[in-house]
Chain A
Amino acid sequence: MPLSISNSNLRLPTGHCRKQWLLVIVFTVILVVIFELYLRSLGCMPQVKDSSSLWGYYRQECDRAETSNMLVSIGGSRPQAGLNPFLVASRTNYSNVVLLHQAGSSFIPTLRDIAYNTDYSGMIICSYHPLYFLYSMEEQQALVDFYHAKYNNSILTSLLTNIDTYLNLQLSSSLVINNINGISGIASKILSSKRSNMKKYPNRFMISETSLLEAMSKEQLSQYKKERAVAGVRFIVGNDVSIEDLPVDHDKWFACFREVLQLAKIIEDRGGKFIFVRYPISDDCRRYEQEKFPKELYWDEAARMSPVLMLHFQDIPGCENLSCFDGSHLSEENANIFTNRLIEELIKTGVMEPKLKIENDKAQGR
């Protein structure tokens, strides 16, 4: 029965269906294989596509019944590139490391969510950034909302979102072409033929892209780091305020810090552990922070009043002068150094236990 208005069925193209679809399969496979092999020959490796779904996929871990052997790392991009979860899992009693960072955003919405909406009782390592206590940055709230709408809503919605995220994860971690920024990404790879050393693992751990900086002269690199430092602050405070004139309200800062401590207390009260970590920064980033938020006036004073453990990279042996390739992010090599030192410090303070000791204890039936 034809419709009263025009429709595709009335104009149906006919014939050659089998031949056509057989060719489609052959051509598609040829295209995928050729581009995949070519991009791999340029040194590109498959890596995951980060998204709200992937964040939510891991956020579910915090809702598990047993979370005491779990470590959740929260913050922006610095911990995402600075804390190697594979090292933590292989060296300590925290075998399940969950990364809930989001680049360029404050941890506070995520912490609020874990404090109020879960019974989480594992460890939280929280990346400290002084501006988070002065400027409201609620970007991570969108991730939290997405999580509650898609993963924590109905069983059906959650099941479908889980399946879909899992399959997307498999696709992007198997095929380079799926995570190369589309047509323009392929074009730029072919044109520049530069080997990229950025990699995002399925668990969202990120090895930073440093290849672009390798070709820079010392002056260019210095200028780049300066611009990055300015851009980093402007990203949070807006374009209208210059870094020199950045207003810093000491009382407001500490009021917000105390609020965050309240959230940390909720987690510690149910048996969890909360640690503030200042990830390494260098060059202009470090200079700006020292000018505006002197360590002695902010970090040290906060550490004195804080019931939770606070570890500053300057106070961790071997990390005082770790260099960041762009002033604020660690390279793969330095991230491993920092993670190892941090683990040693946390074991020394009794917050973590080395894996070997646990295995020995188990073997001896303790």
Chain B
Amino acid sequence: MLFNTFTFIFFFVVAVTMSRAIKSWSLNKLFLLLISYLFYASWNPPFVILLWISTIGDWYFAKLIFNTASISRKKVYLFGSLLLNLGMLGYFKYANFVLENFVFLLSSFGISWQPHPLDIILPVGISFYTFQTLSYTIDVYRGNMPPAKSVLDYALYVTFFPQLVAGPIVRAVDFIPQCVKSKRATVDQLSWGVTLFILGLFYKVVIADGLMAGIVETGFSSEGTPGFLNAWGATLSFSTQIFCDFAGYSTCAIGIALCFGFALPDNFRFPYAALGFSDFWRRWHISLSSWLRDYLYISLGGNRRGKLLTYRNLLLTMFLGGLWHGASWNFAIWGLLHGLFLIFERSVYIILPHWRSKTNILFQLFWGGITYICVCFAWVFFRANSLDGAVTIISGMLGCHGMGHINRKIAFIVPISLVIFHWLMRDTTIEDAAVKMPYWLKSIIISIFIFCIILYWGGEDRAFIYFQF
């Protein structure tokens, strides 16, 4: 059930209405849990079993970790949790990739082996909910939180439908305490929740799918060599599409959760106005980048063991972050590129420490421009159908195939408008902007959003890009 379908809107309205009608908080949570399973089952019902395995497994592992005093036993139980979650993730997401690379490796030694390809369907959202459950057991192991007192609260944390399939990746320490006290969304929460849902749909239906998807598909799938303008048009369009698609999903998820009285963390903060690459990752997919920082980068030693090891840790974290997105070398290269960008930025700040705090607008535009351009170069690997395809687009962007021509002006107009919007909003939030607006202006803007959504509603089935991860 996609957010951008009639069936979801019907489901959402019925769910909110029924949830508000249920007086008992425990029954309300049970209701939310059941509709979350229904929501997940709408993709492929048998995969609900995986959710149950992950939920029950980590529920017990966390209890065992908490109840034992022995450090070695704690480690064994944590290892069990890691094995369960990463095992599931590894099998469903990476088995074919590992097999393909193993066959390739053998062939480079002259050994020919043609195994039967594994017929594995990737369960939607598995990368997101395994990271959530992993963070729970790790937090209990680290003593950051006690295990959840109620299995219902814990199961709802894993399964809560707005964030289940594509995030934001919520921490147990943030979500489970919200389950303790009875709650019902206030009129303000409902109103703002619905506003965010409409804004998210506008991002997804109008900009990502309606305006950008066609240009990106043509740009990245056309045969031949794209000229400078064609390659940049496709890449800038993709930078807009991926932001509006994913931020659209997150905004919808945050809005929907708010309608049930739950607060989910921010996932995006105008990333295309980032000054430097670490700033980019504080603004892009915040829940994943903070997860990688807290559970991977810091576990590897972070920046506490000297320059070289810090660089290694950055590269490794971003490489694995890239692979988290998908089992392909394109994603690995995308991650590695971001690792290199972060290393480059650290080196620059070591040589030129005053760059960190420069507030000159021209300098900010220069540094922000470099950041955006580098991020766009990396997007090519994220989007291209193959490594060869990525190289072709990159060479086009570097002008190796001539100037080309502008096929559709919106390939430049929309991305540039989005970047300007991010710059205007970089030090504020949507909520702050809404607070400053008179209510009638908010009404006009929301009406225009709804009108545009009606214009582009329906047509080709376009799932959110991050569902494949």
Interface residues of A (CB under 8 A from B): 1-21, 23-24, 27-28, 31-32, 35, 49-53, 146, 150, 153-154, 156-157, 160, 163-164, 167-168, 171-172, 175, 177-178, 180, 182-184, 186, 238-239
Contacts and interface: CB of A to CB of B under 8 A. Distances in A.
Which of B7, B173, B444 gathers the greatest number of chain A CB atoms within 10 Å?
A: B7
B6 A164 contact: yes
B263 A53 contact: no
A18 B187 CA distance: 9
B460 A23 contact: no
A24, A52, A168, A184: which has the most chain B beta carbons within 10 Å?
A24
Given A4-B173, A23-B443, 17 more contacts: A4-B174, A5-B290, A7-B266, A8-B258, A8-B263, A12-B188, A13-B431, A20-B439, A21-B191, A27-B444, A27-B447, A28-B447, A53-B461, A156-B38, A160-B5, A178-B458, A183-B455
Interface residues of B, number: 64
Q: Give the one of B265, B430, B439, B450 with max A CB within 10 A.
A: B439
Interface stretch (B41-49, B67-75, B102-110, B388-396): B41-49
B306 interface: no
A31 B6 contact: no
Given A9-B263, A157-B44, A178-B454, A164 B5 contact: yes
Nearest to A168: B458
Contact of B431 (A11, A32, A168): A11
A138 to B, nearest CB: 15
B266 A28 contact: no
Specify which of A2, A5, A172 lies most central, judged by the most chain B CB atoms within 10 Å of its CB: A5
Contacts of B177: 1
B8 to A, nearest CB: 9
Contact of A182 (B258, B430, B456, B461): B456
Nearest to B11: A160
Interface in B1-27: 1, 5-7
Given A167-B6, A171-B457, A8 B266 contact: yes
Interface in B449-469: 450-452, 454-461
Given A7-B266, A51-B459, A182-B455, A24 B290 contact: no
B113 interface: no
Contacts of B448: 31
Contacts of A3: 174, 263-265
B41 to A, nearest CB: 6
A24 B263 contact: no
Interface string B186-228: 0111111000100000000010001100000000000110000
- Kindly name the residue among A13, A157, A164 whose own CB sees the greatest number of chain B CB atoms within 10 A: A13
Contacts of B457: 168, 171, 178
Contact of B458 (A24, A171, A184): A171
Interface of B is mostly: helix
B223 A157 contact: no
Contacts of B263: 2-3, 7-10
B461 A146 contact: yes
A5 to B, nearest CB: 5
B30 interface: no
Contact of A24 (B210, B223, B443, B455): B443
15 contacts: A7-B254, A8-B254, A12-B192, A20-B443, A23-B439, A24-B447, A27-B447, A51-B460, A156-B38, A156-B41, A157-B43, A163-B6, A164-B7, A177-B454, A178-B455
Interface in B151-198: 171, 173-174, 177-178, 180-181, 187-192, 196
A27 B443 contact: yes
Interface string B423-455: 000000111101100011011101110111011
Nearest to A1: B177
B294 to A, nearest CB: 11
Contacts of B41: 154, 156
B258 A52 contact: no
Nearest to B450: A28
B451 A31 contact: yes
7 A-B pairs with least C-beta separation: A27-B447, A23-B443, A9-B263, A11-B431, A168-B458, A16-B439, A17-B191
A6 B430 CA distance: 13
Given A9-B258, A17-B191, A177-B455, A168 B6 contact: yes
B140 to A, nearest CB: 16
A7 B435 contact: no
A35 B448 CA distance: 12
Nearest to B446: A24
A5 B264 CA distance: 9
Interface in B354-394: none
Contact of B171 (A4, A14, A18, A27): A4
B410 interface: yes
Contacts of A2: 263
B105 to A, nearest CB: 31
A177 B457 CA distance: 10
B286 interface: yes
